Structure 1
């Protein structure tokens, strides 16, 4: 027989295990997303560095493949078996995200290629960092490190900035995704 104090401790332990399991599942999905986006962003920045003319085609392809991949990860994830098959809110989040970024860069700011190369990673990392306030410190760390390295490269690196960003943004997301798999 256990008393009420022992029962409360046992329930607290169970609650702790449930919370850890949820965070583990979230990190598993997020790590897959980070690895996916990291590979795409790395490729997009390499195209921008090697063939700048094709960057205007590469980045929409990166964005479409990236969002499509995230939707597929979400739909195919075994931990999401009880989730609805399709949630329109996910598509709306991305539509609003990209629309706001487009308004900032092309309507209000008229950014050039270098400014775009710094804005979009920092803009993405803002939301990564904000998500980390709810979902775990790994998101905060990844967002802040990539943002800081982006700014360092923007202000100190000349022409090879897209190559810098391939490793900082693409490589940073890949490393962050691998790190989240180990947490």
Structure 2
């Protein structure tokens, strides 16, 4: 057996810390990818439902957002119990509630947005926070967020009428699904 000196012991501890960090990031990506796929399916369905029955858009989007929050909480809590990586607690719930409250303030009080503006605002608003999460959790979040923001703006300025909702179903819902699947490969 070989004796380790202080230098070798410090290097071994650094190696262990590096492995722990990579495993933690991998778990975060795994849970985030599951949440993104589920959110993508819900957002895609919400846009298609909004296209088919626009008069119920308020109910549709409240339902989609509540389901997204419930799915995120369930997946994060289940993931934490399996791995010990805590990703959802009351602070996260408070952050979601503040996030939605500020978005509603911007749309309904300050902006008085119409349906088209709402259809562009919310995906961009969400993706800005995905980009900011990427500053801590990795470039995949930044790439996904920027791609969806750019495609949302292209649709807002160049896709006419009700086709915009179908565009957003593909861009926002499909983009979340694809990026969730992409993150599973990282």
Q: Whole-Å Cα distance in 1 between the matches of residues 14 and 6 of structure 2?
A: 12
Which is further off, 108-117 or 64-73? 64-73
1:167 paired residue among 152, 164, 170: 170
Cα separation, 1, equivalents of 2:91 and 2:58: 28
1:141 to 134, 140, 143: 143
Could you tell me which residue of structure 1 aligns to residue 103 of structure 2? 101
Which residue of structure 1 lines up, in the alignment, with residue 179 of structure 2?
176
**Aligned-partner SS, 1:2:** coil
Q: Against the structure 1 CA distance between its residues 179 and 50, is the aligned structure 2 distance closer, same or farther, given a 3 Å change threshold?
A: same
Deviation readout 1:60-101 (Å, 9 max, x if unpaired): 0001111111111122124454759x8322221111111100
SS at match of 1:103: helix
1:15 aligns with 2:12: no
Contact 2:31 2:75 in 1 (8 A): yes
d(CA) in 1 for partners of 2:149, 2:28: 22
Q: Which runs of 5+ in 2 are unaligned?
A: none
Using the alignment, how far apart are the partners of 1:111 and 1:75 within structure 2?
A: 35
Partners of 1:181 and 1:88 in 2: CA distance:
27
TM-score (norm 1): 0.93
What number of residue pairs does the alignment pair up?
182
RMSD: 1.7
Q: Give the TM-score normalised by structure 2.
A: 0.92
Counterpart residue number, 1:34: 36
Q: Distance in 2 between matches of 1:99 and 1:37?
A: 19
Runs of 4 or more consecutive aligned structure 1 residues displaced over 4 Å after TM superposition = 80-84
Specify every segment of 5 or more residues in structure 1 that has no aligned partner in the other structure, as ranges: none
Q: Which residue number corresponds to residue 71 of structure 2? A: 69
CA contact (8 A) 1:146 1:168 kept: yes
